[in-house]
Each structure stands twice: as C-alpha cells, then as structure tokens.
A and B are shown apart, each in its own frame.
Chain A
C-alpha cells in the first residue's frame, strides 16, 4: 500500500504534461481507488448473501461505523497519540544512539574490533522475542514500549551508518587529506555527508520497525495504545473494531513513511542524480 501512495505522489509532479498524456494519467490514477470500491462492494455482498457471522468477518459498513464512532468519541485519537509517542520516542533514541555508535565503531578501529562482532550477532537475533522480558523489566507503562521500539530499530540504523561511513570514495578522502585536513575534517566534510543516503535508508526501515515495536509491546502487556485497543477488542470479539484500528494503523504507517520520504529527498537531494551521472 505504501508504494502505491508513493507512486501517486511522485506522478503528481509530472502531471503537468501534454493534453492526451495527462488524460491517460488521470484514468490510470482512477484504477487503484476503483479496484478498492469493487473489492469492498464484493466483500459487503458476500457477507450479506452468505450471512457470514460478523465475529468472523464484519462487512465493510460495520467497520466504517466502528471507525466513525471511534474517531468521533476521541477514543482512537487518545490511543493513537500513545502509540505515536512511544514509537516516536523509541525512534529518536535509536537514531541518536545508532548514529553515535556507528560513528564510534567506524572511527575507532579498536572499538570496531571489540564490539562489532557482538553487534552483528545481536542484529541477527529476533528482538521481538525479548519483548515479554522487557515488559517484565520496565513495567506495563509506556517505558517498556519505548525500549522495545528503540531496540528493534537501533540495528538497521547502526548497520546503515556503518556501511555508509565505510563506503566512502578513496579519492574524496584523499582530496581532504591533500589539503592537510584532520581525521575529524575528513569525517565532517566527506564521510558524514557521504553516509547520509545510507542513514536515511536505515531510518526508513527503522520508523516502521518502531511502530511495530510499540504495537508488539502493547500486545504483550499494556494499558493504552492502538495495540492495546486491538487486543481489547479481540477479547470482546468486536472484530469490526479490530479492523477499524488496523485502518488507523495503516494510515499512520503510510503517513510516517511519506513524511520521511519528503525529508529524505530534501536532505539528500544529490544522491539519485549523482549516481546516474557517475555512470553516464
């Protein structure tokens, strides 16, 4: 779903083209929503026609009702803010510590030798599996969710920072060295900006992981948040509510992803065109 939305946003910029081209673009853009309407209609029809129990599969109309009432009562907003807060805080912690740790590991050879093997080993461990432990250690409140979110998004950021700082053109480093630049200047003027595209690739993965981490934390044991809401609705067999919360989650995921894409393109504006030019 995320990629569909990105593509729609991307084509927006070049929609200003010639007449016939433009018309076909519009028609093309109608395809996705149209297929959704057809699917929902089919779903509604099947549920009513075969009298499927709403506990198994609620019709789209019921889900829409649940969504509307949840939004109107402010119930979703309250839990939405809890989950966003946990995921956001977790992301900030992971981003800051991932960038600092990645920098230290690549700048100081001894640190790399000492810690990097452990970091790689930890990275290949499914961190979701530790979630119950984290809840025991940090309690049922928001802290445990922040910790889980930070933990699972730390590694994609770290690995990308390390790769980004390492894959630096020898010639760019030589350029600064030839001007008698210090290691710090090499880092600041060349290695760090060179690593930015990689860092953003890590951030893109991490931001989704953070939401995932917060939700899993709320599943395992929580008092608030969209994950908590899903579990609560599940236990009362309010399946329409579960679907409605899933829609809210999907919207959250897509929004966050798109926002990061915009920032990404603003910050590392050179990355794509430079790669194309280098081989031309």
Chain B
C-alpha cells in the first residue's frame, strides 16, 4: 500500500476561454499534479488564478482544453458518482428541509432511500446539526448551512471531496471553528480532499500538501509538504515551523503575482 497509485492524476492541463468580445483568455497553463488517496491537498492562489476552473475540471463540470485528468485509472469526461463537491456558497435548495437537502444525492443517484436516510442522519450528527433535520435553510446561520452542504457532499460516500473556498463567505470566528471541524470530519471520514482557498493560514492548518498557483494564466509555482503532526489546532501557529510555511507560501505567492494580476 505504500506505493499507492495516485487517486487524481492531472497531467499538463490547460484551459482557454473565448470571451464574448472575441479575445482568448488563458485560465490554466500546463498544470500537473498527483494526489494520493486520503491526502488533504490545498490549492492557494490569488483571485482569478484558475483554481476554481481546475476544481470544475476535476468535478467534470468543465472540460480541459489541453492535457488529461484521471481519477484512479479512468479519464474524467463528466461528473462522476464517486466525487462530492462543496461549493463556495452552501447552495442548499431553499424549498427542501436540511434533511431533504442532504438526501438530494440519493434522489439524483437513485440510491436506496431508507439506507440513505439513516446515513444522512448520521452525517448530520457528524457535522453537528442533529435536531435541525426539519429546519429550512433560511432558518440556519451561514456556518450551519455550509455544514449541511458538507454532509450532503458526503452522503453518497465519495472517495474524493472537492471543496471550492467553502468557508470564504463566513466570518473569521466561524471560519476558524469550521476549519477545526473539517479536520475532525476528515479524520473520521477518511476522504481525499482537494481544497481551494486564498487564506494562507487555512492552507497550512489543513493541508498535507499546499499547492501554490500563480495569477492568470494559472500555473503551479510551488508544492509544499506541510510536515506538522496531527491533530492540529491553531496553536501550531506558535511554532516556528508553521510560521515558516506561512512565510514561504507568501513569498511564493508574491513571486507568482509579479507580472500577473496583483494579489
């Protein structure tokens, strides 16, 4: 098991957009990356560096213009059942209860309703939303909504969890609490996580490996293994090692944004 085959193989992926005015925008340029099973990879980059595009390609929501993306040994050609996505905003359906929202993947994928319901209730407990099953999204706080959306992404037991700045819209206090909770959930659920953020401390706290991307066209400028023992908390930032990682990522970002868009 030591020499595991990578779960995700991204090889030379590029993405160009045609704008309405006829111009061509290069969002991603020959991005290559391998992610191991159960690894927590965090991508950091300035706004507009194509990190969301990369996630959308992994989710099968967008097609790459160049290169290949493989999950285990299959090419990603469209959305897949073994992937769960957590979007920037929670994207809960306002007309469904919390439980109804968490159950949505079961309806779409045609899973067994009774078993899925049991799993949904377990997941709601895991994310700390027990007792809120029958509430509607507008009755929840922002943090609670994002927790519900994490439970939803886990319902069909995907091996890969894609998270696109899931806590970006939350206030700082809630965000820190959610970071710690996500670590707890990750340790219990044993998923591979591909996480996007523009917060450097968030990246250092969460990641096994931090991938730093440059501004448009998005390229990987540095990959950094975070060698800090788990379980981690915010006290790691008292250690010189964590502070060193933060500085290195900031420098990599600084170099990356030269000539490109400002950070």
Which residues of chain A have a CB within 8 Å of any CB of chain B? 169, 171-172, 174-181, 185, 189-190, 193, 196, 268-271, 273-274, 276-277
Q: 6 tightest CB-CB pairs across the interface, nearest first?
A: A270-B94, A274-B94, A180-B79, A273-B138, A179-B108, A178-B85
Q: Mark B62-105, 1 if CB is under 8 A from A, else 0.
A: 00000000000000001111010101110101110000000011
Q: Is the CB of A193 within 8 A of B85?
A: no
- Whether A180 contacts B80 by the Cβ 8 Å rule is yes
Question: A174 CA to B104 CA in the complex, in Å?
Answer: 13
Q: Which residue of B lies closest to A276 (CB)?
A: B138
Verify A178–B95 contact, CB threshold 8 A.
Answer: no
Which residues of B from 120 to 171 have beta carbons under 8 Å from A? 136-138, 156
Query: Chain A residues near B61 (CB, 8 Å)?
Result: 174, 177-178
Which of A169, A181, A270 is in CB contact (< 8 Å) with B108?
Answer: A181
Q: Are B91 and A179 in contact (CB under 8 A)?
A: no
Instruction: Check if B108 sits within 8 Å of A180, measured CB to CB.
Output: yes
On whether the beta carbons of B138 and A270 are closer than 8 Å, the reply is: yes
Q: Are B137 and A178 in contact (CB under 8 A)?
A: no
Chain A residue with Cβ nearest B162: A178
Residue numbers in A under 8 Å from B59 (CB-CB): 178
- Please report B residues at the A interface, Cβ cutoff 8 Å: 59-61, 78-81, 83, 85, 87-89, 91, 93-95, 104-105, 107-109, 136-138, 156
B81 proximity list for chain A (CB < 8 A): 179-180
Minimum distance in angstroms from A176 CB to a CB of chain B = 6
In the complex, A113→B83 CA distance in Å?
A: 36
A-side contacts of B89, CB under 8 Å = 171
Q: What distance in Å separates the Cβ of B172 from its nearest Cβ neighbour in chain A?
A: 18
The complex places the Cα of A178 from the Cα of B79 at a distance, in Å, of 5
Cβ B83 vs Cβ A193 within 8 A: no
Please measure, in the bound complex, the distance between the C-alpha atom of A193 and the C-alpha atom of B96, giving whole angstroms.
10
Q: CA separation between A172 and B137, bound complex, in Å?
A: 14
Q: Across the interface, which residues of A come within 8 angstroms of B105, CB to CB?
A: 179
* Majority secondary structure, B binding face: loop
Q: Is the CB of B85 within 8 A of A175?
A: yes
Q: Across the interface, which residues of A come within 8 angstroms of B88, CB to CB? A: 171
CB of A279, distance to nearest CB on chain B (Å) = 12
Contact of A270 among B79, B136, B156 (CB under 8 A): B136
Q: Which of A171, A189, A276 contacts B104 (CB 8 A)?
A: A189
The answer to whether B138 and A171 have CB atoms under 8 Å apart is: no
Known: A176-B108, A179-B108, A189-B93. 6 other contacts (CB 8 A): A169-B91, A171-B88, A178-B60, A180-B108, A269-B136, A270-B95
Contacts of B107 in A (CB 8 A): 189
Most buried by B among A177, A190, A193: A177
Residues of A within 8 A of B60 (CB): 178, 180
Q: With a CB–CB cut-off of 8 A, which chain A residues contact B138?
A: 270, 273-274, 276-277
Across the interface, do B108 and A174 meet the contact criterion of CB distance under 8 Å? no
A190 CB, nearest partner CB in chain B, Å: 7
Chain A residue contacts of B80, Cβ below 8 A: 180
- Which of B59, B81, B95 has the most chain A CB atoms inside 10 A of its CB? B95
Docked complex Cα distance between A196 and B91 (Å): 18
**How many Å lie between the Cα of A196 and that of B109 in the bound state?**
24
- Bound-state CA distance A190–B60 (Å) is 19
A142 and B105 CA atoms in complex are apart in Å by: 49
Q: B257: shortest Cβ distance to chain A, in Å?
A: 27
Most chain A beta-carbon contacts within 10 A, residue among B94, B107, B136, B137 = B94
Query: How far, in angstroms, from A172 to B94 measured CA to CA in the complex?
Result: 11
- Please, which residue of chain B has its CB at the minimum distance from the CB of A267? B95
Q: Could you list 10 examples of A-B contacts with CB < 8 Å?
A: A177-B79, A178-B83, A178-B85, A180-B79, A190-B93, A193-B95, A270-B95, A271-B94, A274-B94, A274-B137
**Cα(A51)–Cα(B167), bound, Å:** 77
Chain B residue numbers with a CB within 8 Å of A181 are: 79, 108
Report which residue of A175, A268, A271 has the largest number of chain B beta carbons within 10 angstroms of its beta carbon. Answer: A175
Specify which chain B residues have a CB less than 8 angstroms from the CB of A185 in the assembled complex: 108
A172 and B109 contact, CB distance less than 8 A: no
Complex Cα spacing A177 to B63, Å: 13
Known: A180-B80, A270-B136, A274-B138. A171 touches B91 (CB 8 A): yes
Find chain B residues with CB under 8 A from A172 CB. 91, 93
